[in-house]
Chains A and B, each alone.
Chain A
Amino acid sequence: MKIAVPVKFVPDLVEELTIDPGGAALDTTWLRLIINEFDDHAVEQAILLKERGSGQVAVTTIESEGADDFLFAAAAKGADQLIKLTGDFSSANNHALARVYADLLKELQPDLILTGVQAHNDLDGSVGPLLAELLGLPYVGYVAGLTVTGDKVVARKEYSGGLVAEVEVKLPAVLGIQASEQPPRYVAYSKIRQVMGTAKIEERPVSGLDPSGGTAVSRMFQPEVAERATMLEGGADEVADKLVGIFKELGTL
C-alpha cells in the first residue's frame, strides 16, 4: 500500500502576527513558519499504517523554511520518499495548490492520501477535499484513527461532543486527519542527522499556478474587541491573592 502525505507550513500563532502595509495580507518579514500540527499527526498515522501492514510512505511539501528538516525527520520516522516542490508559490491559494498536488499524485498513484484536517490560515477551502475532487476520489475529514482492510478503510470520523462515526471508504481515497491514533512520535536529532546522509529529497520544479476558484481578500485586521479582560497586575503572590478574592466573590470558594 502506498500512502502520500502532503504537508503544509503555517504561521506560528505563538508569535505576534502583523498585517503588511498593503493591508490585505500577513506581513511575512518576521513570520515564523511551523508545520501544521495536523500534518504531524497525518505523518504519524501513515507511519503507523506502514508499521502495521506494509507499504510505502511519501511525504511531500513545497519549499519553505523548515521544509528540509521536516522531510528528513519524517524519513527518520520511516517515510520512504521525500518530495519538495520548488518554484514561486507567492500567488498560490489552496485551489492552485490542489491542482499542483493533483498532478503530482496522479503520477505517484497512492492508495491513500492523508492530509491534515485543515490549516488555520485557509481562506479558499481545504486542499484535501479539493484534491479528492480533482482526482475523482472520495474524501472524509475529521478522522482520528483508521483501519485498512483490502480495498477499504474504516475511518473514525469525529463529530462535536465526542460522537464518533465509523465510516467505510473505498480506496483510493483522501482522508483529512484530525489526530493520529497515538501522539506523533519524537525522533532524536542524532537519528535525523544520520538520515540526512542517506535520504534524498526529490526536488520538483513547479510553474504556471492556476489560482482560479479562490477568494480575494480586501482587508485584514486584528479582531475588534468589545471588552478585554481586566488584567491582574503584580507578581505571582499578588495575583494569587486577587484570584482568591475573585473566586470568593463569584461564589466558587
Chain B
Amino acid sequence: MSQDIFVVIEHLRGQVSDTSYVMLAGARQLSQSTSGNVTAVLLGHNAQGLASNLAADKVLYMDHAALAEFTSDAYQIALAGLIQEHSPRAVIFGHSSIGMDIASGLSAKLGTPVVSSCRAFTTDGKYVSQICGGKIMAEGELPGPAALVTMVPGGYKSELGQSAQAPALTTVSAPTLEGLRVTLKQYIEPDTSDVDIAKESMLVSVGRGIQNKDNIELANELAAALGCAVSASRPVVDQGWMPTTRLVGKSGKRVKPKIYLALGISGAPEHVEGMGESEAIIAINTDPNAPIFNIAKYGTTVDMFDLIPVLTEKVKQAK
C-alpha cells in the first residue's frame, strides 16, 4: 500500500479536459495530508504528448489501440490491473461522462469504497462532497486503506493542475484487451447552425421555473428588447422547449457573458459548471434558498411572471 494519489486523466479527441487539471489540483492538496506523490494515469494511444503540462510528480502511461478514445470496458480493465499492482491511497476520477462510467464498477470489482461528488479535500485529508443540487455539503474521513473518488469541478482552479515543466513519464504495459463489450463507433459533432451562445455578451437564460413551452415567448421578448440571445437549463431542453444548442452547463456550453440573467434556474452544480464564470449573474428565483443566489451578483425573489413583462417594457423605454 502506498500513500500516492492517482489521478485518471480524462481526454477526448486529443485534448485533456479541464476536469483533469482540477483533479490534479485536488490530488496535490490531498497528497499533502498523506505525504505521498501525485501520479497522473494516462491511458491512450500515441498520446504521450498529452502528459506534457500535467502538474504531477510522475505519469504512468499505458498505450493500446483500444485505449485511444474512452470506452468504459477497456478503461475499467486497464485501470483495475494498474490499481491492484500499485495500491495507491486514492484514485481520483472525474464526476463526469468518463469517470462516472468506471469508478463505481471498479469499486465493486476491487472491493474499494468510492466517494462521489467530492468538491475539495480539507487540510487534514477529509473529503467534502457537494450533493442535493449544491444545497448540501457532506464531509467525512476518506475511507481506508484505499479509496476511489469522483470529483466535481468548482473546488480548485484548473491552472493549479497545470505545469510548465513536463513530469517524468513511465510507460507501463497494457493488459490484453480482448472481447470488449463496449466500442466507440463515431463522434457526432454539436450542431453549429444556431447562434453560438458562448459568443453573446448577455444571455437571458430560462430554467424549469418557466413552466411550459408557451412561456418561453416571455423570455424571447425580453431578449429581443435587450438585443441578446436566450439560453436554457437542461430540463428546459429535455422537455423539448428549447433546442440543445442553447443548453448551458456540464453537458452543454460554457458561457461567460457580461450579464447572465437567470430566470427560474436553481443553480445546480451541473448548470453552474457552464455559467459560473459569467461576469455578473443576476438571478430571478422565488426560492430565497436557491443556490443560484450564492453565486449571483444581484438577485430578486419576485415571481418572474410578474417581473418579466414589466421589465421588457422598461427595457424598451430605456433605449
* A contact residues vs B (CB 8 Å cutoff): 11, 13-14, 16-17, 19, 24, 26, 37, 41, 94-95, 98, 117-118, 120-130, 132-134, 137-142, 154, 156-170, 173, 176, 178-179, 182-183, 212-223, 225, 228-237, 239-241, 243-244, 246-248, 250-253
Contacts and interface: CB of A to CB of B under 8 A. Distances in A.
A250 B188 contact: no
Contacts of B109: 133
- If over half of B's interface residues share one DSSP class (helix, strand or loop), that class is named, otherwise mixed; here it is mixed
Given A219-B138, A240-B310, 10 more contacts: A122-B116, A126-B116, A139-B101, A167-B182, A176-B100, A223-B130, A229-B297, A243-B314, A246-B280, A250-B280
A76 B121 CA distance: 46
Interface in B278-319: 279-283, 287, 289, 291, 293-303, 306-307, 310-311, 313-315, 318-319
Given A162-B244, A230-B299, A220 B107 contact: no
Interface string B103-123: 111111101111111000000
B159 interface: no
A229 B310 contact: no
10 contacts: A13-B133, A95-B108, A120-B268, A137-B181, A162-B247, A164-B187, A166-B186, A215-B115, A250-B279, A252-B226
Interface residues of B, number: 103
Nearest to B17: A160
Given A213-B112, A222-B137, A239-B300, A121 B293 contact: no
B126 to A, nearest CB: 8
Contacts of B251: 142, 158-160, 162, 178
A223 B131 contact: no
Contacts of B135: 13, 17, 222-223
Contacts of A212: 111
Contacts of A157: 97
A156 B302 CA distance: 39
B81 interface: no
B113 A124 contact: yes
Contact of B287 (A14, A117, A178, A182): A14
A121 B131 contact: yes
Contacts of A94: 104
B192 to A, nearest CB: 9
Interface of B: 12, 17, 69, 71-73, 96-97, 100-109, 111-117, 126-127, 129-141, 143, 148, 150, 181-191, 201-202, 226, 228, 235, 238-240, 244-245, 247, 250-254, 258-259, 266, 268, 273, 279-283, 287, 289, 291, 293-303, 306-307, 310-311, 313-315, 318-319
A10 B279 CA distance: 33
A153 B148 CA distance: 29
A16 B136 CA distance: 11
Contacts of A233: 300
A117 B137 CA distance: 21
A162 B112 contact: no
A154 B186 CA distance: 11
B101 A141 contact: yes
Contacts of A140: 72, 101, 182
Contact of A236 (B129, B235, B306): B306
Contacts of A252: 201-202, 226, 228, 258-259
B298 A162 contact: no
Given A129-B103, A240-B311, A218 B298 contact: no
Given A123-B129, A157-B97, A163 B311 contact: no
B247 A217 contact: no
Contacts of A162: 190-191, 244-245, 247, 251-253
A123 B117 contact: yes
A231 B72 contact: no
Contacts of B126: 218
Which one of A26, A130, A240, A246 has the highest number of Cβ atoms from chain B below 10 Å of its Cβ? A240
A49 B190 CA distance: 25
Nearest to A252: B202
A183 B102 CA distance: 28
A117 B135 CA distance: 20
Given A178-B251, A216-B141, A132 B131 contact: no
B314 A240 contact: yes
A250 B108 contact: no
A77 B118 CA distance: 37
Nearest to B116: A122
A157 B206 CA distance: 25
Contacts of A139: 72, 101, 105
Given A98-B108, A213-B114, A16 B289 contact: yes
A113 to B, nearest CB: 14
Given A17-B132, A130-B108, A225-B294, A168 B183 contact: yes
